[in-house]
């Protein structure tokens, strides 16, 4: 599957001031029963966002919102950049988590660290995870709180985050992930181009460890 | 030349190609599939007109959505039923072997893989499930993947991957009585934190790990992901080889001899260097209970609920305060005085036969406390029948436990088994996240024997006192 390329993005920043935000919190289990890739955004952070219990197929517009939850505050409506704390996306491997974030409208998540599986899944869905040191993230939290309408520009080509003051903050990103995101590439298609390599490996592997290919119960 | 780690050996033997940036195309020996993370992947294949490259290396089972009560009428929840039916349909269309819901071998994917010998030592194993790390317990490189990667493996039998760094956690000495594999891994997570293993594959080593059964090693590797490590692993030894001998899908005869010889190479060389080392002394370990909403929030059962005021880091302090509020706990409360509503013995962490035996030994001849609702969900149909043959089901039911059909059940509450808001549960599962076992539910992670003791007492107990150390 090809994804929308990510080159440069400017957007409103929402601060989610919690460490270890897990994928169960990002998209609770009852929504994982869907066999589609779309439609998860309305249930992003469902248990924090609404005061009642959500269920698949329910009309979410009629549900009572939790006014204290950050994404429900008018100043953060329409945010496309999520600023959060350490170890974002820990827990389950459910890709429904980035599907929900992307469907809601997030294109970038900034945090001091991310769980491995989540970061991989995010990239496959055109979401850029930007890792900045904890002090910088702390400073950005302060700036977001101080200034309504706070927007950042994230440039993947240059590997920089630019603040409204013009401060340019560089970030590191895995070169493979950067290449895939910048070009919105179909990774499966690229791997299939290596068919002869895969076949050659398989022949050798089968000769060496035949039992791998002979599972019969 | 420096020696090679187990990770090096598993990695090197599965690299198809490697590009200039260090990303390898890794060959995948076993792809395990369940109903929750696969439908969109099969749909992706369909849309692109692609086939499953190696259906004979791919095995599926429904486990997350299945009811643990009577299944003769099928699944009552129409959305769950739809998802399981989609798996059946996809496996049929793409030629993938599936152990269906009514198959006597059905169970949690990470329990049945090794139990059936579908997964064998030395393999690269993936599944759209973070607890795939379980399979490292017998010398596999096993890790969880997302649905896009599931599709990638279905289509190509490979995954582009960067090699993780290596960490070794050595548990020296012998475990004290009453302390289990679960307590080891909770203590490790408590020490390094839920992100301490991010970017690493963790090899567990040392006398205490060697002393564990394969089941115990699976418990440890299962929760490597709760320390942030996608993969956990333990070297192959006699126990590993013995465990797989005679398994239904395992090789036999000359093929077995060849396999065994290859498997015995799957140990880290004595002079291998690791990127990070952690050494723990087994005799310092105690039965653990989690108090918060992250597996790193764990304390000895003899301790008290910690006080956020003692935490200097403001981010951590805020997280502790949020966790205590969610859990409805006051700092300073002795863990042993925390009263319970529910007890869950199950999950891919602790629902194998050895876990049920350990719990039954505590329960035998006793009664579940008034007001506590306790259930046992075996990890697989095979585990269930074995337990019944040993009379364990009667030990549980006579004590007042419910004895259920196999599945993931209340580990993540995708089926009908769940906590009600505010209910407090002693659980042998792996995650105490907010809402994990049901919206507003409060989860405390413990070992099977600790869960059993808590069911009898109605609150946490120090298993070392209950059983005199058994």
In the stretch 340-399 of chain B, residues with CB closer than 8 A to chain A read none
Question: Helix B214-222 crosses helix B109-116 at what angle (to 10 degrees)?
Answer: 150
Q: Are strands B30-33 and B58-60 parallel, antiparallel or unpaired?
A: parallel
Radius of gyration of chain A (CA): 20
Q: What angle do CA A47, A52, A54 make, to 5 degrees?
A: 65
| pLDDT tens digits along A119-154 | 999 999 999 999 999 999 999 999 999 999 999 999
Cβ burial of B128 (10 Å; 0-12, 13-18, 19+) is buried
Q: Distance of CA B311 to CAs B85, B237, B307, B316, B320, Å?
A: 49, 42, 8, 7, 9
In the stretch 82-121 of chain A, residues with CB closer than 8 A to chain B read 85-87, 90-95, 98, 113-117, 120-121
The residue among B24, B315, B322 with the most chain A CBs within 10 A of its CB, best to mutate, is B315
Q: In which residue ranges of chain A is pLDDT below 50?
A: none
Region for B328 from its dihedrals, namely left if φ exceeds 0, alpha if ψ lies in -120 to 50, beta otherwise: left
Which pLDDT does position A1 carry in this prediction? 60
Helical segments of B73-166, H only: 78-94, 109-116, 147-156
Asked if the Cβ–Cβ distance from B83 to A33 is below 8 Å, we say yes
Token pair listed for B41:
């992947």
- Residues with Cβ within 8 Å of residue B141, at least 6 apart in sequence: B7, B10, B11, B14, B123, B124, B125, B201, B231, B233
Helical segments of B231-297, H only: 238-244, 253-263
Q: How far is residue B425's CA from residue B428's CA, in Å, rounded to a whole number? A: 10
Asked if the Cβ–Cβ distance from B27 to A191 is below 8 Å, we say no
Could you report how far apart the first and last alpha carbons of chain A are, in Å? 34
**How far is the alpha carbon of B203 from chain A, nearest alpha carbon, in Å?**
18
Which pLDDT does position A216 carry in this prediction? 74
Model-wide pTM > 0.90: yes
Closest residue in B to A120 (Cα–Cα): B146
Counting other chains too, the contacts that B354-357 makes at CB distance below 8 Å and 24 or more residues apart are B354/B213, B354/B215, B354/B216, B355/B215, B355/B219, B355/B379, B355/B428, B355/B448, B356/B383, B356/B387, B356/B392, B356/B448, B357/B387, B357/B390, B357/B392
A163 touches chain B (CB under 8 A): no
Q: Where are the beta strands (DSSP E) in A104-180?
A: 108-111, 128-131, 151-155, 160-162, 168-170
Asked if the Cβ–Cβ distance from A18 to B412 is below 8 Å, we say no
**Which of B17, B79, B130 is facing A56, going by the closest CB pair?**
B79
- Residues with Cβ within 8 Å of residue B429, at least 6 apart in sequence: B344, B346, B347, B349, B350, B410, B411, B412, B437, B443, B445
B70 touches chain A (CB under 8 A): no
- Residues with Cβ within 8 Å of residue A132, at least 6 apart in sequence: A110, A111, A112, A140, A161, A169, A171
Token pair listed for B110:
């990470």
A212 touches chain B (CB under 8 A): yes
Q: How far is residue B47's CA from residue B300's CA, in Å, rounded to a whole number? A: 52
Q: How far is residue B92's CA from residue B95's CA, in Å, rounded to a whole number? A: 5
In the stretch 167-196 of chain B, residues with CB closer than 8 A to chain A read 194-195
* Nearest C-alpha neighbor of B333 from the set B301, B286, B296, B310: B301
Half-sphere exposure of residue B87: CA atoms within 13 angstroms, side-chain side: 28
Q: Distance of CA A211 to CAs A14, A208, A215, B14, B96, Å?
A: 52, 9, 7, 15, 18
Q: Are strands B298-300 and B288-290 parallel, antiparallel or unpaired?
A: antiparallel
* Nearest C-alpha neighbor of B288 from the set B300, B273, B304, B272: B300
Q: How many CB atoms lie within 10 A of CB A189?
A: 14
Token pair listed for B92:
């049929």
Q: In which residue ranges of chain B is pLDDT below 70?
A: 467-470
**How far is the alpha carbon of A28 from chain B, nearest alpha carbon, in Å?**
8
Asked if the Cβ–Cβ distance from A191 to B436 is below 8 Å, we say no
Q: Distance of CA B321 to CAs B177, B291, B297, B301, B339, Å?
A: 34, 12, 12, 20, 20
Q: Where are the beta strands (DSSP E) in chain A?
A: 8-16, 81-84, 108-111, 128-131, 151-155, 160-162, 168-170
Instruction: Give chain A positions within 8 Å (CB) of B32.
Output: none
Which pLDDT does position B309 carry in this prediction? 97
| pLDDT tens digits along B241-264 | 999 999 999 999 999 999 999 999
In the stretch 142-161 of chain A, residues with CB closer than 8 A to chain B read none
Which pLDDT does position A4 carry in this prediction? 83
The residue among B16, B53, B109, B294 with the most chain A CBs within 10 A of its CB, best to mutate, is B16
Taking a C-beta distance cutoff of 8 angstroms, is the pair B146, B277 a contact?
A: no
SS3 B287: coil
Which pLDDT does position B469 carry in this prediction? 41
Q: Where are the beta strands (DSSP E) in B230-319?
A: 231-233, 276-281, 288-290, 298-300
Q: Distance of CA A212 to CAs A5, B144, B152, B245, Å?
A: 38, 20, 20, 15
B251 touches chain A (CB under 8 A): yes
Token pair listed for B6:
């187990």
* Nearest C-alpha neighbor of B65 from the set B86, B42, B44: B86
Q: How many CB atoms lie within 10 A of CB B3?
A: 11
Sheet holding A128-131, edge to edge: A128-131, A108-111, A81-84, A8-16, A151-155, A160-162, A168-170
């Amino acid at each position: 599957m090809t994804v929308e390329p990510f080159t440069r993005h400017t957007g409103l920043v929402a601060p989610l001031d919690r460490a270890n935000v897990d994928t169960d919190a990002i998209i609770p289990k009852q929504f994982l029963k869907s066999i589609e890739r779309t439609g998860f955004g309305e249930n992003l952070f469902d248990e924090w966002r609404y005061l009642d219990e959500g269920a698949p197929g329910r009309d979410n517009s009629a549900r009572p919102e939790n006014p204290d939850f950050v994404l429900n505050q008018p100043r953060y409506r329409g945010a496309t950049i999520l600023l959060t704390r350490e170890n974002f996306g820990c827990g389950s491997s459910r890709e429904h988590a980035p599907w929900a974030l992307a469907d809601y409208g997030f294109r970038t998540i900034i945090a001091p660290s991310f769980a491995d599986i989540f970061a991989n899944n995010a990239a496959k869905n055109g979401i850029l995870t930007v890792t900045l040191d904890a002090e910088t993230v702390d400073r950005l939290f302060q700036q977001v709180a101080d200034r309504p309408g706070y927007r950042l520009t994230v440039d993947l080509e240059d590997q920089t985050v630019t603040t409204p003051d013009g401060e340019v903050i560089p970030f590191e990103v895995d070169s493979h992930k950067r290449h895939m995101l910048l070009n919105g590439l179909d990774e499966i298609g690229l791997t299939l181009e290596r068919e002869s390599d895969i076949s050659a490996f398989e022949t050798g592997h089968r000769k060496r460890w035949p039992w791998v290919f002979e599972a019969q119960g | 030349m420096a020696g090679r780690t187990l990770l090096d050996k598993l990695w090197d033997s599965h690299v198809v190609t490697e590009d200039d940036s260090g990303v390898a195309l890794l060959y995948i020996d076993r792809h395990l599939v369940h109903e929750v993370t696969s439908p969109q992947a099969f749909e992706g294949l369909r849309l692109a007109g692609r086939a499953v490259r190696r259906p004979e290396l791919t095995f599926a089972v429904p486990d997350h959505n299945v009811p643990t009560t009577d299944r003769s009428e099928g699944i009552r929840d129409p959305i769950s039923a739809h998802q399981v039916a989609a798996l059946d349909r996809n496996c049929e269309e793409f030629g993938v072997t599936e152990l269906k819901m009514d198959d006597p071998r059905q169970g949690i994917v990470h329990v049945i893989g090794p139990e059936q010998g579908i997964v064998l030592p030395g393999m690269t194993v993936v599944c759209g499930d973070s607890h795939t790390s379980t399979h490292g317990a017998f010398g596999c490189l096993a890790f969880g993947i997302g649905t896009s990667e599931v599709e990638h493996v279905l289509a190509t039998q490979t995954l582009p991957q960067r090699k993780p760094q290596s960490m070794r956690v050595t548990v020296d000495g012998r475990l004290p009585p009453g302390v289990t594999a679960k307590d080891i891994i909770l203590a490790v997570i408590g020490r390094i934190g839920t992100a301490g293993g991010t970017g690493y594959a963790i090899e567990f080593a040392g006398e205490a790990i060697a002393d564990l059964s394969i089941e115990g090693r699976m418990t440890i590797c299962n929760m490597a992901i709760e320390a942030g490590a996608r993969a956990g692993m333990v070297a192959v030894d006699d126990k590993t080889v013995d465990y797989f001998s005679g398994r239904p899908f395992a090789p036999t005869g000359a093929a077995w001899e060849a396999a065994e010889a290859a498997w015995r190479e799957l140990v880290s060389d004595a002079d291998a260097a690791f990127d990070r080392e952690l050494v723990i002394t087994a005799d310092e370990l105690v039965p653990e209970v989690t108090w918060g909403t992250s597996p790193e929030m764990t304390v000895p059962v003899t301790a008290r609920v910690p006080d956020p005021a003692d935490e200097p880091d403001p981010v951590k302090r805020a997280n502790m305060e949020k966790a205590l509020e969610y859990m409805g706990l006051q700092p300073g409360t002795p863990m042993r005085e925390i009263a319970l509503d529910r007890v869950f013995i199950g999950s891919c962490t602790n629902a194998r036969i050895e876990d049920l035996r350990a719990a039954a030994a505590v329960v035998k001849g006793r009664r579940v406390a008034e007001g506590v609702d306790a259930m046992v969900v075996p990890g697989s149909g095979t585990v269930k029948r074995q337990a019944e043959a040993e009379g364990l089901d009667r030990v549980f039911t006579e004590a007042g436990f419910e004895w259920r059909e196999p599945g993931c059940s209340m580990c993540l509450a995708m089926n009908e088994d769940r906590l009600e808001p505010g209910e407090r549960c002693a659980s042998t599962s792996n995650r105490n996240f907010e809402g994990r076992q049901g919206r507003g539910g409060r989860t405390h992670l413990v070992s099977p024997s600790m869960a059993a003791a808590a069911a009898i007492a109605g609150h946490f107990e120090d298993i070392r006192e209950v059983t005199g150390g058994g």
